[in-house]
Amino acid sequence: MTVPDNAAMLGKEVPVEKIERELRILWEADEARTNASLMNLAVYSEASGALHVNSDIIREITREHACRALLIGLDKSIEEISVRAWITAHCHLAHGRKSVCCEQIAFHLTGHSRGRFRNTIFAHLQSDLPLIFWWQGNLSSMFSESLYRRIDRLVIDSSAWIDTAKQFEKITEAIRQVNLTVQDLAWTRTYHFRLAIASLYDDPTASKSLKNVSKVKIVVNPEHKVSGIQLLAWFTEMAGWERTQDLISDKEDSGSYRFLTDKGSIVDVELSEDVNSAAIGKIEVISDGVTVCVSREKGSKHLRHQLQCGGHELDLHGPADSDSSAELVTDQLSRGGKNSLYKKILPFFLELLGK
Amino acid sequence: MVHPSMSNPFREDLVSRSRPEACTVVIFGATGDLTHRKLIPALYNLAVDGELPPGVKIIGFARRDKSNEVFREGLKELNQEVSRNGHDEEIWQDFENTVEYHQSEFQDADGYKRLADRLDAIDVERGGKGNRLFYIASAPEYFDDILEHLKGAGLNESSEGCWSRVIVEKPFGTDLPSAQHLNKVVNQTFEEKDTYRIDHYLGKETAQNIMVLRFANAIFEPLWNSRYIKQVQITCAEHLGMEGGRGGYYDKAGALRDMVQNHLLQLLSLVAMEPPTDLSADGVRDEKVKVIRSLRQWDTPELVAENVVRAQYTAGHVHGKSVVGYREEDRVDPESMTESYVALRCMVDTWRWSGVPFYIRMGKRLPKKATEISVHFRSAPNVLFNATPGDTDEGNVLVIRIQPDEGISLRMVSKLPGTTLRLEPVKMDFHYSTSFGKGSPEAYERLLLDAMAGDATLFARRDEVEEAWKFIDHIHRGWHESDKGKEPEMADFVAGSWGPEAADDLLEKDGNTWRRL
Ligand SMILES: NC(=O)c1ccc[n+]([C@@H]2O[C@H](COP(=O)([O-])OP(=O)(O)OC[C@H]3O[C@@H](n4cnc5c(N)ncnc54)[C@H](OP(=O)(O)O)[C@@H]3O)[C@@H](O)[C@H]2O)c1
């Protein structure tokens, strides 16, 4: 049997069939702690060394979200079927007073067996609490209907995928079959940009100018192109624009798009990549005499909201989405909801992705 | 009026709450404590969370001569101390640039004219959106002046497609006639739909959760009536006394007027109301006011004596420190007849609540700080386990903790482990702080945002305030206007204890006892 690196950091190794008993012993050992849980949070990865990285992530997330965490690391390179388990608790002082703890069970699996993988997870859930499943990396053959049928919320990061379009086929299929609630961290990264755009368009002059937009510029970091396309899909879908085949310099993958507004005018969109940009660096919407721009410097914790209208100007800072996956998941869990907006823009996004 | 979400397609599905609109907030009494400790930090924290609409301007109106810089510096100093999300200099810089100081006396008509000019100029700078939110954070004796001058300067009127609203701080009157007078003055200046009477208790997370708990969970509402509920208790305990000179104000107000008339009757109405037909401001407030209107009136000295206990604390110990009695406190009349403690037995005369007493108690210098509501269910029929040892005849109790340590707990009876059948109460407990690590927004954040969004659900309506005063005034009259020798007695209790014996007797008559906190 193989042992993941840094296994000691995962806590106490326990026989799989004794996990619940060992957890009870863990709690009884220290009465000063409160065990809290509002959900089952499973984190799955097929990358080597992921278990201890994810254990650190869970430590962060449990500061705000009490849960039972299940970490699952699968090493498919080894054919022999095996499973080992470790338990530990992450404790935090709540308001400097009470020590609140969340339990974590880490599994290291080898070999390829979907049934065993599912059973291992489902046998260790806390009953009645929702299951949030964070799938890291590509959706492998382990991602099956009998798994996602029982998931309340699936967390993915589509910007980390190889072969993005193929992966999205699996997601759309899951949505079609079980109306799965999907929370894509690539989409979460656009949250404050969307809020900022929405609030700038509360301005009556900006709002009126939407009819006359001639150009939209989006700048993204190459690693986050998916977020850029999602932001574009959202903006154009909300503005009620339609894609037109009336193509401009349509070099393959050139990042240029052309849209028709409901008034029949043409808007050119340029989505460019810049290695020095933040995940999303900028969205700038230019129309007759009005420019709306939301931007972020790489590493900055703030977005810059700018509005230039004929008569008045705005230049403010607002919060930005985090660069850390742990924080994005934390924010996402706080917001809850069924993510219906994401589902709404998905078809259009896929169309733009396929370009 | 066109709501921005209608003209702004990007709002769709983005956030579920109604969206606040850009406006200018004018705070009257801006050099005061409330502005520095609550209002500005609340607005700043909204900016940090990205909730404050861009284009918001804040104008502080007060008497002292101050430059913008000095005013902002003072605000910053306090924000650094009290802000919920900490103090981020970059966001503060932006925020601070939206804040201005306007020096004027409340009684000076010219000051309001200058204010109107400045507001018009801001509207132009902002692109023509003339929404205004006037926050009256002054002592109540200035309400009339401020409102009348606002009207005089035409500031109560809004331009087309825009709004002009007023937020009024407590105390909203000191009795029914003064509240009616204030309401008259306010409503001569602003329409009722533009009047927001703030009750920060309603902005607290757990208070908002009462409706969710009742109406989003199928298990409570079928039991939420006199058939299954024996009594309800609302406790607001404070360990503080009259520190920091607050005796001057308090000795004029007393526990009944300071806390019961507004906060505690609001909590009572949330617990006792019928399900509203919708969640609109008036849908909810229509049901709340019916509860207050259904309160049986204690309108004779005898009824007051039977159903209300008033008391003052005498010297004692709180949190291990010795403290003086109420009448020895700074700025309190040594012969004061103002209650620092009050306990009431209220009857809500509706079909649902017939015969169920609602007990309210509020006091200073009690053993600890705690505000909570407890709903005591009737016991299960005592036939199966009546011979078993243990605590079986106490029914289930649902506790909603408002502050501190917000949460909900349910007491149930369970079997003690062992070979014999012994029953003991156990508690299922839900703590906000341990389940949701993220702190709740301050009540003022939520309420300011609601006022900017035009959502008055969490604000008191005129009829609610007046009905509450009507109920309170009867008691007050019973205490202070009864014939000599007939007035209900003023009890006392040692500071640091849970109130006078008379308050225990009040419940004992019904076969109940106060919940131990
Ligand atoms: N403090 C709280 O936490 C709190 C909580 C709930 C409700 N409240 C209520 O809120 C109101 C204000 O409380 P506060 O504690 O902020 O009071 P405060 O500290 O005494 O402040 C009073 C404010 O009114 C201004 N002022 C007084 N007379 C004036 C005049 N003639 N012309 C212009 N400005 C004048 C003062 O300005 P100058 O300094 O320039 O004289 C100051 O800015 C009260 O009704 C109180 O009951 C307060």
- Residue range A267-316, pLDDT digits in tens: 999 999 999 999 999 999 999 889 999 999 999 999 999 999 877 888 88
The percent of residues in chain A predicted with pLDDT above 90, rounded, is 56
- B499 or A3: which carries more pLDDT confidence? B499
Taking the CA atoms of chain A, what radius of gyration do you get in angstroms?
A: 23
Check residue B288 and give its pLDDT. 96
Rounded average pLDDT over B48-71? 92
Does B391 score more than 60 pLDDT? no
Q: Give pLDDT tens digits for A54-94.
A: 999 999 999 888 899 999 999 988 888 888 999 999 988 76
Which chain B residues contact residue A205 at CB under 8 A?
127-128
- Nearest by CB to A100, from B13, B94, B434: name it: B434
Third-level CATH fold of A188-354 = Dihydrodipicolinate Reductase; domain 2 (3.30.360)
Check residue A1 and give its pLDDT. 44
Rounded average pLDDT over B233-248? 93
Residues 6+ apart with CB under 8 A from B361: B233, B234, B235, B236, B237, B341, B342, B343, B344, B499, B503, B514
Does B5 score more than 50 pLDDT? no
Q: Where are the domains of chain A?
A: 7-151, 188-354
**Segment 343-382 of chain B within 8 Å of chain A by CB:** none
Does B473 score more than 90 pLDDT? yes
Does A125 score more than 80 pLDDT? yes
Check residue A63 and give its pLDDT. 87
Does B1 score more than 70 pLDDT? no
Nearest CA to ligand 1 atom 4: B34
Q: Which of A137, A268, A284 minimizes the C-alpha distance to A215?
A: A268
Residues 6+ apart with CB under 8 A from B16: A337
The percent of residues in chain B predicted with pLDDT above 70, rounded, is 95
Does B474 score more than 70 pLDDT? yes
Give the separation between CA B433 and CA B451, rounded to whole angstroms. Answer: 27
- B434–A contact, CB cutoff 8 A: yes
Region of poorest pLDDT, from A88-97, A200-209, A306-315, B455-464: A88-97
How does the average pLDDT of chain A come out, rounded? Answer: 88
- B433 or A301: which carries more pLDDT confidence? A301
Check residue A4 and give its pLDDT. 63
Residue type at A283?
I
Region of poorest pLDDT, from A102-106, B374-378, B381-385: B381-385
B182 lines ligand 1 (CB under 6 A): no
To the nearest 10°, the Cα dihedral for B486, B331, B341, B362?
A: 140
Check residue B390 and give its pLDDT. 57
Antiparallel, parallel or unpaired: β A256-260 and A313-319: unpaired
Q: Give pLDDT tens digits for B173-216.
A: 999 999 999 999 999 999 999 999 999 888 888 888 899 999 99
Predicted confidence band of residue B387 (pLDDT cuts 50, 70, 90): low
Is B263 assigned a catalytic role?
yes
Identify the three-state secondary structure at position A327.
Answer: helix
Predicted confidence band of residue A115 (pLDDT cuts 50, 70, 90): confident
Check residue B21 and give its pLDDT. 82
Do B127 and A197 make contact, defined as CB atoms within 8 angstroms?
A: no
Q: Give pLDDT tens digits for A16-62.
A: 888 888 888 887 776 666 777 889 999 999 998 899 899 999 999 99
**Separation of CA B516 and ligand 1 centre (Å):** 37
Q: Which of B10, B92, B25 minimizes the C-alpha distance to B55?
A: B25
Distance from CA of A53 to the nearest CA of B (A): 22
* Chain A interface disruption, residue of B13, B92, B163, B205, most A CBs within 10 A: B13
How does the average pLDDT of chain B come out, rounded? Answer: 90
Give the separation between CA B227 and CA B236, rounded to whole angstroms. Answer: 27
Do A66 and B435 make contact, defined as CB atoms within 8 angstroms?
A: yes
Distance from CA of A6 to the nearest CA of B (A): 29
Check residue A94 and give its pLDDT. 66
Using CA atoms, how far residue B69 sits from B103, B106, B271, in Å, is 13, 22, 47
Do A311 and B124 make contact, defined as CB atoms within 8 angstroms?
A: yes
Check residue B4 and give its pLDDT. 44
Predicted confidence band of residue B253 (pLDDT cuts 50, 70, 90): very high
Identify the three-state secondary structure at position B470.
Answer: helix
Residues 6+ apart with CB under 8 A from A302: A296, A317, A318, A319, A320, B90, B91
**Segment 48-77 of chain A within 8 Å of chain B by CB:** 62-66
Give the separation between CA B186 and CA B231, rounded to whole angstroms. Answer: 38
Region of poorest pLDDT, from A291-300, B127-136, B142-151: B127-136
- B13–A contact, CB cutoff 8 A: yes
Check residue A288 and give its pLDDT. 86
Residues β-bridged to residue B168 = B136, B197
Q: Which helix (H) or strand (E) holds B361?
A: strand B357-363
To the nearest 10°, the Cα dihedral for A108, A113, A116, A121?
A: 60
How wide is the angle at C-alpha B324 spanned by C-alphas B318 and B325, nearest 5°?
100
Write the burial class of residue B485 (CB in 10 Å: 0-12 exposed, 13-18 middle, 19+ buried): exposed
ipTM of this complex:
0.81
Determine the residue of chain A that is closest to B56 in CA distance.
A314
